[in-house]
Amino acid sequence: MTPVRLIQATRFPEVNVAIFGFLLNYPWEFLQVPFFEGMSEAPHWDAVLFCSRAALGDALIAVTAFWAVALAARSRAWLEAPTARRVLGFMAIGLAITLVFEWLATEVWDRWQYAEAMPVLPVVGTGLLPVLQWILLPPLIVWFCHRQLTGPSRAGRKPGSS
């Protein structure tokens, strides 16, 4: 992709959500390593690949949550003027998807297990850190996307235009 096309791609809110969703979730995934069984002892490259795939999955969850809010708002431009209700919706959808995937991964597919160090929510059994991830990071994703979509380089552009 040429630099011009890359710059043009950042006009699409989904691209921004994917980029910032990945960039913010990537270090979070590495910080969680001690809280997942066997990850601290895993070969370096295996852990890097696992965390990379997890961050890509988080970015996909963020894009899905973005689209759900855009559908409810009837506008893909909601990030240009985010409201508390839309940000909470974005967070809630991402959190709901995460709760389902964490349950499937730990209880059904046996993809990973929590280490003893992971605080677990009572009743649902989901680790506290993946829950906190979808409470703390979505507002930052929205903030970065809002700045990217409405910053000085976008001055004079109508909201929602491409």
Residue 151's pLDDT is 84
- Which structure tokens are listed for 95? 């959190």
H helical segments located in the chain: 3-9, 13-31, 44-73, 84-103, 128-150
With a cut of 60, say whether residue 154 has pLDDT above it: no
pLDDT at 17 > cutoff 50: yes
Res. 123 pLDDT band, cuts 50 70 90: confident
pTM, rounded to two decimals: 0.87
pLDDT tens, position by position, 56-74: 999 999 999 999 999 999 9
Q: Which residues contact 66 (CB under 8 A, 6 or more apart)?
A: 13, 14, 17, 79, 90
